[in-house]
Amino acid sequence: MDRLRKAAIRVPGLEIRIADRCTSTNAVLLAGKYDHPVLLAAEAQTAGRGRRGRSWRSAPGAGATFSILRRMQCAPRALPGLSLAVGVAAARALRSLGAAEVSLKWPNDLLAGGKNAGAKLGGVLIETRLHGGQVLAAVGIGINCRPQRGLAKRLRRNVTCLDALVQPALARNRVIAAVAGEVLAALTTYERLGLAGFADEWRALHEYEGRRLRVRLADGRTVSGVAAGLAPSGALRLLARSGARDIADGRIVAAAT
């Protein structure tokens, strides 16, 4: 397999660290004491997490799994849309590497479009802490680079990887460097403009924009409507028969073709 190498991941403004194995790159960075931006990439995680505590599975050598730790110069109330901005940045980077089919799914999934439409390629998980009056953000990103046998069955959903989208295969170090560079720039833009600086691009990248969706809310109820971009808070805006409805916490479970 192509090993992760510190010297091959060069991102101006970031200290690069590599771990052969760790619990979670987000958790490790948040437990440390850093006064500068740091990127930690791991060959394997024993307790990788996704949204709502779901586990993130990536076999050694199969994925680009990393986190960026950075202090955010904005108020905590401005952060709910940050994962959407990071998704846009990650999609930009992957498209620039040749994965032109990459799209987004609200709130934090990277998907593939085209013949692989709706298959999960990766995801974003952001965790924050208040530290010295500032917000410390750990931006976790996981991207499937190589095929993993049995992964779709274990997750009970369609999955894909960069090898299915781009040939010749992309080196994982190159993927991490490209995505991290775009994400770091996006964090700076977010401090100035908030989600408004990304909303139009997010809408253009949303795999289900303009389609009728069924969304399961956090309390188990489901609502339906046509996807119509984002609310300023980062909530998914649905156009239902009763009018516009903003969904702050939920999961898309079905989409009309």
Of residues 40 and 116, more confidently modeled: 40
- CATH 3.30.930.10 maps onto the chain at 6-205
Q: How confident is the model over 122-164, as pLDDT tens digits?
A: 999 999 998 777 899 999 999 999 988 767 667 667 899 999 9
Please give the helix or strand (H or E) that residue 130 lies within, else none. strand 119-131
In percent, how much of the chain has pLDDT > 90?
77
Instruction: Report the alpha-carbon distance of residue 255 to residue 227 in Å, rounded.
Output: 10
Residue 76 reports pLDDT greater than 90? no
Beta strands (DSSP E) in the chain are 15-22, 38-45, 63-72, 102-105, 109-112, 119-131, 134-144, 212-217, 222-230, 236-240, 243-247, 250-255
- Asked if 239 and 226 touch (Cβ cutoff 8 Å), the reply is yes
**Average pLDDT value over all residues in the chain:** 91
- CATH 2.30.30 maps onto the chain at 212-255
Among 55-64, 81-90, 190-199, 233-242, the range scoring the smallest mean pLDDT is: 55-64
Q: Which CATH number fits domain 6-205: 3.40.50.1970, 3.30.930.10, 3.40.50.300, 1.10.10.10?
A: 3.30.930.10
Six token digits for residue 47: 């307790």
Domain boundaries 212-255, corresponding CATH code: 2.30.30
Q: How confident is the model over 8-27, as pLDDT tens digits?
A: 999 999 999 999 999 999 99
The pLDDT of residue 56 is 60
